[in-house]
A and B are shown apart, each in its own frame.
Chain A
Amino acid sequence: MTDAATDPVREGLERYVGRPMGPPSLAPDPVNVPMIRHWVAALDDRNPVYLDEAFAKTTRHGGIVAPPAMLQAWGMPTPKIEGIAERGGAPADYREDNPISALDAAGYVGTLATNSELEFVRYLRPGEQLHVSNAVDSISNRKTTGMGKGYFVTWITTYETSDGELVGKQLFRVFKFDPSTLDLSKLGGGK
Protein backbone atom coordinates (compact mmCIF):
# COMPACT_ATOMS: atom_id res chain seq x y z
CA MET A 1 0.00 0.00 0.00
CA THR A 2 1.26 3.42 -0.90
CA ASP A 3 0.47 6.64 0.87
CA ALA A 4 -1.52 8.91 -1.45
CA ALA A 5 0.70 11.87 -0.61
CA THR A 6 3.73 10.09 -2.09
CA ASP A 7 1.97 8.52 -5.07
CA PRO A 8 1.60 10.97 -7.96
CA VAL A 9 -0.78 8.66 -9.86
CA ARG A 10 -3.14 8.48 -6.91
CA GLU A 11 -2.81 12.19 -6.31
CA GLY A 12 -3.88 12.84 -9.89
CA LEU A 13 -6.99 10.72 -9.37
CA GLU A 14 -8.27 12.65 -6.37
CA ARG A 15 -10.03 15.23 -8.51
CA TYR A 16 -12.39 12.56 -9.90
CA VAL A 17 -13.86 11.53 -6.54
CA GLY A 18 -17.46 12.69 -6.29
CA ARG A 19 -17.59 13.58 -9.97
CA PRO A 20 -19.53 11.73 -12.69
CA MET A 21 -17.90 8.88 -14.64
CA GLY A 22 -19.80 10.14 -17.68
CA PRO A 23 -22.78 12.31 -18.55
CA PRO A 24 -26.24 11.43 -17.23
CA SER A 25 -28.51 9.69 -19.72
CA LEU A 26 -32.10 8.85 -20.42
CA ALA A 27 -32.74 5.12 -20.92
CA PRO A 28 -33.21 4.46 -24.68
CA ASP A 29 -36.65 2.95 -24.04
CA PRO A 30 -39.15 2.86 -21.21
CA VAL A 31 -39.48 -0.39 -19.28
CA ASN A 32 -41.34 -2.58 -21.74
CA VAL A 33 -42.77 -6.06 -22.15
CA PRO A 34 -40.81 -7.05 -25.29
CA MET A 35 -37.48 -6.52 -23.51
CA ILE A 36 -38.79 -8.30 -20.42
CA ARG A 37 -39.89 -11.22 -22.60
CA HIS A 38 -36.48 -11.37 -24.26
CA TRP A 39 -34.74 -11.37 -20.84
CA VAL A 40 -36.90 -14.02 -19.18
CA ALA A 41 -36.57 -16.26 -22.24
CA ALA A 42 -32.79 -15.82 -22.30
CA LEU A 43 -32.49 -16.66 -18.61
CA ASP A 44 -35.37 -19.17 -18.60
CA ASP A 45 -36.88 -17.28 -15.66
CA ARG A 46 -40.43 -18.57 -15.30
CA ASN A 47 -41.56 -16.28 -12.50
CA PRO A 48 -45.08 -15.43 -13.78
CA VAL A 49 -45.12 -11.89 -12.35
CA TYR A 50 -42.88 -10.74 -15.22
CA LEU A 51 -45.23 -11.62 -18.12
CA ASP A 52 -48.57 -12.99 -16.87
CA GLU A 53 -50.70 -9.93 -16.17
CA ALA A 54 -53.66 -11.91 -14.82
CA PHE A 55 -51.45 -13.83 -12.41
CA ALA A 56 -49.41 -10.79 -11.42
CA LYS A 57 -52.65 -9.01 -10.45
CA THR A 58 -53.31 -11.72 -7.85
CA THR A 59 -49.97 -10.98 -6.15
CA ARG A 60 -48.88 -7.96 -4.15
CA HIS A 61 -47.12 -6.66 -7.28
CA GLY A 62 -50.60 -5.81 -8.63
CA GLY A 63 -49.54 -6.26 -12.25
CA ILE A 64 -46.55 -7.05 -14.43
CA VAL A 65 -43.21 -5.91 -13.03
CA ALA A 66 -39.77 -6.03 -14.60
CA PRO A 67 -37.21 -8.52 -13.27
CA PRO A 68 -35.24 -6.53 -10.69
CA ALA A 69 -31.85 -7.48 -12.09
CA MET A 70 -32.83 -5.83 -15.39
CA LEU A 71 -32.27 -2.46 -13.71
CA GLN A 72 -28.89 -1.95 -15.35
CA ALA A 73 -30.14 -3.27 -18.71
CA TRP A 74 -32.69 -0.44 -19.07
CA GLY A 75 -29.90 2.12 -19.07
CA MET A 76 -27.54 0.35 -21.45
CA PRO A 77 -26.66 2.65 -24.34
CA THR A 78 -27.62 1.73 -27.87
CA PRO A 79 -24.37 0.43 -29.37
CA LYS A 80 -22.69 1.30 -32.61
CA ILE A 81 -21.80 -2.23 -33.72
CA GLU A 82 -19.34 -1.27 -36.45
CA GLY A 83 -15.89 -1.02 -34.90
CA ILE A 84 -16.98 -2.17 -31.45
CA ALA A 85 -14.16 -4.74 -31.22
CA GLU A 86 -11.56 -2.10 -32.14
CA ARG A 87 -12.99 0.13 -29.40
CA GLY A 88 -12.51 -2.64 -26.83
CA GLY A 89 -16.25 -3.14 -26.54
CA ALA A 90 -17.14 0.50 -25.90
CA PRO A 91 -20.62 1.09 -27.34
CA ALA A 92 -19.73 4.39 -29.03
CA ASP A 93 -16.84 6.61 -30.07
CA TYR A 94 -16.36 8.61 -26.97
CA ARG A 95 -13.69 8.95 -24.40
CA GLU A 96 -14.67 10.22 -21.00
CA ASP A 97 -12.25 12.00 -18.73
CA ASN A 98 -12.68 9.73 -15.72
CA PRO A 99 -10.47 7.61 -13.43
CA ILE A 100 -10.65 4.64 -15.82
CA SER A 101 -9.23 6.57 -18.77
CA ALA A 102 -6.70 8.26 -16.47
CA LEU A 103 -5.48 4.90 -15.18
CA ASP A 104 -5.34 3.49 -18.73
CA ALA A 105 -3.10 6.42 -19.67
CA ALA A 106 -0.89 5.76 -16.63
CA GLY A 107 -0.29 2.14 -17.70
CA TYR A 108 -2.89 0.50 -15.48
CA VAL A 109 -4.67 -0.89 -18.53
CA GLY A 110 -5.98 -4.11 -16.98
CA THR A 111 -9.56 -4.11 -15.69
CA LEU A 112 -11.08 -6.67 -13.36
CA ALA A 113 -14.62 -6.21 -12.10
CA THR A 114 -14.67 -7.13 -8.42
CA ASN A 115 -18.00 -6.06 -6.90
CA SER A 116 -21.57 -5.29 -7.91
CA GLU A 117 -24.12 -4.19 -5.35
CA LEU A 118 -27.64 -3.62 -6.63
CA GLU A 119 -30.28 -1.94 -4.52
CA PHE A 120 -33.90 -2.01 -5.61
CA VAL A 121 -36.06 0.62 -3.95
CA ARG A 122 -39.07 -0.85 -5.75
CA TYR A 123 -39.85 -2.94 -8.80
CA LEU A 124 -40.41 -1.19 -12.13
CA ARG A 125 -43.52 -1.30 -14.29
CA PRO A 126 -43.87 -1.08 -18.07
CA GLY A 127 -43.93 2.54 -19.24
CA GLU A 128 -41.45 3.93 -16.73
CA GLN A 129 -38.42 5.53 -18.37
CA LEU A 130 -35.32 5.82 -16.26
CA HIS A 131 -32.86 8.63 -15.85
CA VAL A 132 -29.40 7.29 -15.18
CA SER A 133 -26.58 9.19 -13.51
CA ASN A 134 -23.39 8.15 -11.79
CA ALA A 135 -20.60 9.42 -9.60
CA VAL A 136 -17.19 8.19 -8.50
CA ASP A 137 -17.59 7.00 -4.92
CA SER A 138 -14.00 6.19 -3.99
CA ILE A 139 -10.56 5.36 -5.33
CA SER A 140 -8.20 3.26 -3.23
CA ASN A 141 -4.54 3.86 -2.71
CA ARG A 142 -2.29 1.63 -4.79
CA LYS A 143 -2.69 -2.01 -3.78
CA THR A 144 -0.85 -5.18 -4.64
CA THR A 145 -3.17 -8.11 -5.40
CA GLY A 146 -2.96 -11.43 -7.21
CA MET A 147 -3.42 -9.46 -10.44
CA GLY A 148 -0.50 -7.14 -9.76
CA LYS A 149 -0.42 -3.53 -8.64
CA GLY A 150 -3.33 -1.20 -9.15
CA TYR A 151 -6.23 0.80 -7.81
CA PHE A 152 -9.78 -0.07 -6.85
CA VAL A 153 -12.23 2.38 -8.42
CA THR A 154 -15.81 2.42 -7.11
CA TRP A 155 -18.73 4.27 -8.63
CA ILE A 156 -22.43 4.42 -7.93
CA THR A 157 -25.08 4.56 -10.65
CA THR A 158 -28.42 6.03 -9.67
CA TYR A 159 -31.73 5.28 -11.42
CA GLU A 160 -34.66 7.68 -11.15
CA THR A 161 -38.04 7.95 -12.83
CA SER A 162 -38.95 11.03 -14.85
CA ASP A 163 -40.60 12.38 -11.66
CA GLY A 164 -37.25 12.22 -9.90
CA GLU A 165 -38.20 9.22 -7.76
CA LEU A 166 -35.17 7.13 -6.80
CA VAL A 167 -35.94 3.51 -7.79
CA GLY A 168 -32.54 1.82 -7.68
CA LYS A 169 -28.81 2.09 -7.31
CA GLN A 170 -25.79 0.07 -8.30
CA LEU A 171 -22.38 0.19 -6.72
CA PHE A 172 -19.73 -1.12 -9.07
CA ARG A 173 -16.05 -1.67 -8.27
CA VAL A 174 -13.21 -2.54 -10.61
CA PHE A 175 -9.52 -3.15 -10.03
CA LYS A 176 -7.43 -1.25 -12.57
CA PHE A 177 -4.03 -2.91 -12.69
CA ASP A 178 -0.73 -2.77 -14.50
CA PRO A 179 -0.36 -6.19 -16.17
CA SER A 180 3.44 -5.86 -16.19
CA THR A 181 3.43 -6.00 -12.37
CA LEU A 182 1.70 -9.38 -12.33
CA ASP A 183 3.83 -11.88 -10.42
CA LEU A 184 3.37 -15.04 -12.50
CA SER A 185 4.91 -17.20 -9.78
CA LYS A 186 1.89 -16.39 -7.62
CA LEU A 187 -0.72 -17.38 -10.20
CA GLY A 188 -2.83 -20.29 -9.08
CA GLY A 189 -2.20 -19.45 -5.47
CA GLY A 190 -5.75 -18.25 -4.98
CA LYS A 191 -7.27 -14.85 -5.28
Chain B
Amino acid sequence: MSAAQKAPEKISVGDALPVFDLNVTTTVIVAGAIASRDFMPVHHDPDYARAKGSPHMFMNILTTNGYLARYVTDWAGPEAVVKNMKVRLGGPAIPGKVLRFTGEVLSVEEQGGERVVEVSVRAANELGDHATGTVLFSLPLP
Protein backbone atom coordinates (compact mmCIF):
# COMPACT_ATOMS: atom_id res chain seq x y z
CA MET B 1 0.00 0.00 0.00
CA SER B 2 1.11 3.54 -0.60
CA ALA B 3 -1.04 4.79 2.28
CA ALA B 4 2.00 6.09 4.16
CA GLN B 5 1.57 9.83 4.40
CA LYS B 6 4.60 12.08 3.98
CA ALA B 7 4.70 14.75 6.69
CA PRO B 8 4.68 18.12 4.92
CA GLU B 9 7.09 19.67 7.41
CA LYS B 10 9.63 17.00 6.52
CA ILE B 11 9.90 18.03 2.86
CA SER B 12 12.83 20.32 2.06
CA VAL B 13 14.31 21.82 -1.07
CA GLY B 14 16.92 19.48 -2.49
CA ASP B 15 15.36 16.29 -1.13
CA ALA B 16 15.66 13.46 -3.63
CA LEU B 17 12.67 11.25 -4.37
CA PRO B 18 13.49 7.53 -4.19
CA VAL B 19 14.55 6.05 -7.51
CA PHE B 20 11.86 3.95 -9.20
CA ASP B 21 12.73 1.54 -11.99
CA LEU B 22 9.84 0.52 -14.22
CA ASN B 23 10.47 -2.68 -16.13
CA VAL B 24 8.82 -1.63 -19.40
CA THR B 25 7.32 -4.64 -21.17
CA THR B 26 4.87 -5.05 -24.02
CA THR B 27 2.21 -5.75 -21.38
CA VAL B 28 2.98 -2.57 -19.42
CA ILE B 29 2.63 -0.49 -22.58
CA VAL B 30 -0.53 -2.19 -23.83
CA ALA B 31 -2.17 -2.12 -20.38
CA GLY B 32 -1.56 1.62 -20.09
CA ALA B 33 -2.68 2.36 -23.65
CA ILE B 34 -5.96 0.51 -23.33
CA ALA B 35 -6.68 1.78 -19.80
CA SER B 36 -6.31 5.30 -21.22
CA ARG B 37 -8.54 4.44 -24.21
CA ASP B 38 -5.70 5.03 -26.67
CA PHE B 39 -6.00 2.47 -29.48
CA MET B 40 -3.34 3.89 -31.78
CA PRO B 41 -1.50 0.86 -33.23
CA VAL B 42 1.95 2.29 -32.39
CA HIS B 43 1.11 1.54 -28.74
CA HIS B 44 0.27 -2.14 -29.18
CA ASP B 45 1.51 -3.40 -32.56
CA PRO B 46 5.31 -3.75 -32.85
CA ASP B 47 5.27 -4.43 -36.62
CA TYR B 48 3.13 -1.37 -37.27
CA ALA B 49 5.34 0.84 -35.09
CA ARG B 50 8.50 -0.36 -36.83
CA ALA B 51 6.94 0.26 -40.26
CA LYS B 52 6.36 3.84 -39.10
CA GLY B 53 10.06 4.24 -38.30
CA SER B 54 10.03 3.61 -34.55
CA PRO B 55 12.49 1.17 -32.95
CA HIS B 56 9.55 -0.71 -31.36
CA MET B 57 6.00 -0.11 -30.16
CA PHE B 58 6.13 2.60 -27.52
CA MET B 59 4.37 3.94 -24.43
CA ASN B 60 1.64 6.52 -25.00
CA ILE B 61 1.79 9.95 -23.40
CA LEU B 62 -1.22 9.36 -21.13
CA THR B 63 0.58 6.40 -19.57
CA THR B 64 3.79 8.39 -19.18
CA ASN B 65 1.84 11.14 -17.39
CA GLY B 66 0.11 8.53 -15.25
CA TYR B 67 3.41 7.04 -14.12
CA LEU B 68 4.91 10.47 -13.43
CA ALA B 69 1.93 11.38 -11.24
CA ARG B 70 2.09 8.00 -9.52
CA TYR B 71 5.84 8.42 -8.93
CA VAL B 72 5.23 11.67 -7.07
CA THR B 73 2.14 10.60 -5.11
CA ASP B 74 3.73 7.25 -4.12
CA TRP B 75 6.27 9.42 -2.30
CA ALA B 76 4.03 12.30 -1.20
CA GLY B 77 1.18 10.13 0.12
CA PRO B 78 -2.58 9.94 -0.34
CA GLU B 79 -3.27 13.47 0.99
CA ALA B 80 -1.33 14.92 -1.94
CA VAL B 81 -3.28 16.89 -4.53
CA VAL B 82 -1.44 17.28 -7.82
CA LYS B 83 -2.00 20.76 -9.24
CA ASN B 84 -0.05 20.62 -12.45
CA MET B 85 2.51 18.61 -14.38
CA LYS B 86 4.62 20.19 -17.10
CA VAL B 87 6.44 17.62 -19.18
CA ARG B 88 8.88 17.82 -22.03
CA LEU B 89 8.71 14.67 -24.11
CA GLY B 90 11.85 12.96 -25.40
CA GLY B 91 12.74 9.52 -26.71
CA PRO B 92 10.38 6.55 -26.65
CA ALA B 93 9.75 4.14 -23.76
CA ILE B 94 9.92 0.73 -25.42
CA PRO B 95 9.79 -2.92 -24.27
CA GLY B 96 12.98 -4.27 -22.74
CA LYS B 97 14.37 -0.86 -21.70
CA VAL B 98 14.02 -0.12 -18.00
CA LEU B 99 12.59 3.34 -17.38
CA ARG B 100 14.24 4.99 -14.38
CA PHE B 101 12.29 7.67 -12.53
CA THR B 102 14.18 10.24 -10.46
CA GLY B 103 13.09 13.49 -8.86
CA GLU B 104 14.11 16.30 -6.57
CA VAL B 105 12.29 18.94 -4.53
CA LEU B 106 12.66 22.33 -6.21
CA SER B 107 10.58 24.53 -3.93
CA VAL B 108 8.37 24.40 -0.84
CA GLU B 109 5.94 27.19 -0.01
CA GLU B 110 3.06 27.74 2.35
CA GLN B 111 -0.09 28.97 0.65
CA GLY B 112 -3.54 29.16 2.22
CA GLY B 113 -3.15 26.42 4.80
CA GLU B 114 -1.36 24.09 2.42
CA ARG B 115 2.24 23.27 1.75
CA VAL B 116 2.82 23.56 -1.98
CA VAL B 117 5.75 21.57 -3.31
CA GLU B 118 7.32 21.57 -6.73
CA VAL B 119 9.47 18.63 -7.74
CA SER B 120 11.51 18.02 -10.85
CA VAL B 121 10.94 14.63 -12.42
CA ARG B 122 12.83 12.65 -15.01
CA ALA B 123 12.05 9.33 -16.64
CA ALA B 124 14.96 8.01 -18.68
CA ASN B 125 16.08 4.78 -20.31
CA GLU B 126 19.29 3.83 -22.08
CA LEU B 127 18.11 5.71 -25.17
CA GLY B 128 18.07 8.96 -23.16
CA ASP B 129 15.42 11.11 -21.54
CA HIS B 130 11.88 9.91 -22.14
CA ALA B 131 10.17 12.68 -20.16
CA THR B 132 11.46 15.52 -18.01
CA GLY B 133 9.58 18.23 -16.23
CA THR B 134 7.99 19.42 -13.04
CA VAL B 135 5.07 18.32 -10.88
CA LEU B 136 3.39 20.75 -8.47
CA PHE B 137 1.36 19.31 -5.60
CA SER B 138 0.03 20.34 -2.22
CA LEU B 139 -0.29 18.71 1.17
CA PRO B 140 -2.53 19.96 3.97
CA LEU B 141 -0.76 21.49 6.95
CA PRO B 142 -1.48 19.71 10.23
A interface vs B, CB < 8 Å?
A: 35, 38-39, 41-49, 55-56, 59-61, 67-70, 72-73, 76, 78-79, 81, 84-85, 89, 91, 113-120, 123, 191
Contacts and interface: CB of A to CB of B under 8 A. Distances in A.
Given A116-B86, A117-B87, A191-B91, 19 more contacts: A35-B35, A43-B66, A43-B67, A43-B70, A45-B74, A46-B2, A48-B3, A60-B81, A61-B81, A67-B69, A69-B82, A73-B36, A73-B62, A85-B48, A116-B61, A116-B65, A116-B85, A119-B83, A120-B82
Contacts, number: 123
Interface in B34-90: 34-42, 45, 48, 61-63, 65-70, 73-74, 78-79, 81-90
Interface residues of B, number: 42
Nearest to B85: A118
A117 B85 contact: yes
Nearest to A190: B128
Nearest to A85: B41
Interface in B20-42: 31-32, 34-42
Given A47-B70, A47-B74, A73 B35 contact: yes
Contacts of A123: 81
Interface of B is mostly: mixed
Contacts of A72: 36, 62, 65
A111 B71 CA distance: 28
B78 A48 contact: yes
B19 interface: no
Nearest to A171: B86
Given A47-B74, A67-B66, A191-B90, A41 B79 contact: no
Contacts of B63: 42-43
Contacts of B38: 73, 76
